[in-house]
Structure formats: C-alpha cells, structure tokens
C-alpha cells in the first residue's frame, strides 16, 4: 500500500471510529489527509469502498495473526490463549478498527452485514479450535458456537473495560484475568 493510500486508510478508520460512518464525509477525509478528492477517488471509488477495505484488511490481519500463531501449537487451550492474547494486542494497537467494527455490527444495513460476515468468519476459526478441543478431550463438552461467541465477546468487552478505566490497558494483566476467569474453566479437568 503506498503512502497516500495508507494515510487515507488510517485517517478514514480514525474518523469512522470517532464520528461514525454516516457523520464522516469524503470532504472531511480529504481535508484531514491533505489530498484532493481526485486523489482519494484514484485509490477508492467511494466512501463505502474505503469502509469495506478497512474491514477486510483489519479482519485479514486478525485472522492471519491467529492462523500463524495457532498453527505452531498442539493443545486447543493453548490456541485459545494465543487467540486471546492476539485479540487483546490488536484491540490495544488498532483501537479505531475495533471500535469501528463493533459499532457497525448491529443492524441490517449493508455495512452491518459486511461487519457480521467478517466477524462470523473470524469466530468460525475459534469455533473450529473449540470443536477440535472438545473432540480431543481438552475442552469441556458444550456448544462450540456458544463457546466461540463467548471467547470473542469476552475479549471484545475488554474495549469497554478500557473505556471504563480511562487509561491504557496492561495487556498481560488483562490476559491473566481472562485466563483465570474464563479460559482455565474451558479446560477439561
């Protein structure tokens, strides 16, 4: 991605997260980036295309990180721990992306459907690991969809925790709490 496209990407993500998609105009994006509308339209045909690109690239980053890390692990609980840690790190590093996707997932408009599609694809990766863990006797018996949704939801709620405490999240401390309260309870004893 060239410098201009990256700047449009990052600026749009920040504005969409802070103001919402509908309240952010192409004019505001171009003014903040410092480019003409023609330059923006050279890289993206519309605001909708920018949004779709942001979601696709963000979820791709998350999925690739998870796939690379979990492929090196054998135990399903270790894989869930890796997913949890990666998702917390991404939440901290790419707060605007997480804010944007979580704010847009509700509803039935096209943006909501796109967000749901990508989030559900990501959750299917977690669900596959949970099913594998149940089959191997590493994870307690249960509905894999519920467990995967719980893992995603528990980690996503860390965003609310961050807003509540009003300061930077201590990644390892938060991970240790989630591990203690939730992940260890999934392990078959």
pLDDT value for 24: 92
CB 88 within 8 A of CB 53: no
Instruction: Please state, in angstroms and rounded to a whole number, the distance separating the CA atoms of residues 20 and 99.
Output: 10
Instruction: Please state, in angstroms and rounded to a whole number, the distance separating the CA atoms of residues 96 and 180.
Output: 28
Contacts of 91 (CB under 8 A, 6+ apart): 98, 155, 156, 158, 159, 162, 169
In the chain the domains, ranked by start, together with CATH numbers, are: 1-45 (1.10.10.60), 51-186 (1.10.357.10)
pLDDT value for 104: 83
Instruction: Please state, in angstroms and rounded to a whole number, the distance separating the CA atoms of residues 156 and 99.
Output: 10
pLDDT value for 158: 76
pLDDT digits (tens, 9 = 90+) for 41-54: 999 999 999 989 88
The CA distances from residue 97 to 75, 123, 183, in Å, are: 30, 17, 25
What is the value of pTM for the model shown?
0.83
Average pLDDT of span 157-186: 85
The three state secondary structure string of 89-142 is HHHHHCHHHHHHHHHHCCCCCHHHHHHHHHHHHHHHHHHHHHHHHHHHCCECCC
Instruction: Please state, in angstroms and rounded to a whole number, the distance separating the CA atoms of residues 121 and 56.
Output: 11
pLDDT digits (tens, 9 = 90+) for 40-97: 899 999 999 998 988 888 888 888 888 999 999 999 999 999 999 998 888 888 888 8
């Amino acid at each position: 991605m060239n410098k201009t496209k990256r700047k449009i990407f990052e600026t749009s993500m920040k504005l969409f997260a802070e103001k919402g998609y509908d309240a952010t105009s192409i004019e505001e994006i171009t003014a903040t980036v410092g480019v003409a509308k023609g330059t923006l339209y050279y890289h993206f045909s519309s605001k909708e295309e920018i949004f779709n690109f942001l979601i696709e690239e963000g979820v791709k980053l998350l999925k690739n990180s998870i796939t690379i890390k979990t492929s090196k692990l054998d135990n399903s609980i270790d894989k869930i721990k890796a997913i949890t840690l990666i998702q917390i790190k991404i939440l901290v590093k790419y707060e605007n992306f997480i804010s944007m996707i979580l704010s847009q997932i509700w509803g039935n408009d096209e943006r909501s459907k796109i967000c749901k599609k990508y989030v559900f694809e990501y959750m299917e990766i977690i669900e596959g690991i949970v099913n594998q863990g149940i089959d191997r006797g590493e994870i307690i018996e249960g509905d894999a969809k519920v467990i995967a949704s719980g893992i995603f939801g528990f980690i996503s709620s860390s965003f609310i925790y961050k807003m509540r405490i009003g300061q930077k999240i201590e990644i390892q401390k938060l991970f240790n709490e989630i591990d203690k309260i939730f992940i260890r309870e999934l392990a078959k004893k």
